[in-house]
Amino acid sequence: MTQYDYVVIGAGSAGCVVANRLTEDGKTTVLLLEAGVPATKPEIQVPVLWTKLWGTEVDWAYFTEEEPYLNNRKFFVRVGKF
């Protein structure tokens, strides 16, 4: 069983920076975990097609809470998981 010095959950921009800085000395080991599926969909590689990914397995499908100053509407939050 492999042991790591640190576990970083989330390989977004902040998680990657943290993992990189922790390993700069070359001695520290980090396990960087990310949820989601492999980025095999062609739409992921073509920025103009990003709307085609809404509601698929690579979309977290988050909504905000009801916004009281916007007639209690909920808004879709576009966050990818790949």
pLDDT at 34: 87
More confident residue, 37 or 42: 42
Q: Which of 5-9, 15-19, 38-42, 49-53 is predicted least confidently?
A: 38-42
Say if residue 13 is in the same domain as residue 49.
no
CB 28 within 8 A of CB 22: yes
Alpha-carbon distance of 50 to 56, in angstroms, equals 11
Alpha-carbon distance of 12 to 34, in angstroms, equals 8
Number of domains in the chain: 2
Is the predicted pLDDT of residue 82 greater than 70, yes or no? no
pLDDT at 22: 97
**H helices, E strands: number in the chain:** 2, 4
Segments forming the whole domain that contains residue 43: 39-82
Say if residue 56 is in the same domain as residue 74.
yes
Across the chain, what does the average pLDDT equal?
Answer: 90
pLDDT at 35: 83
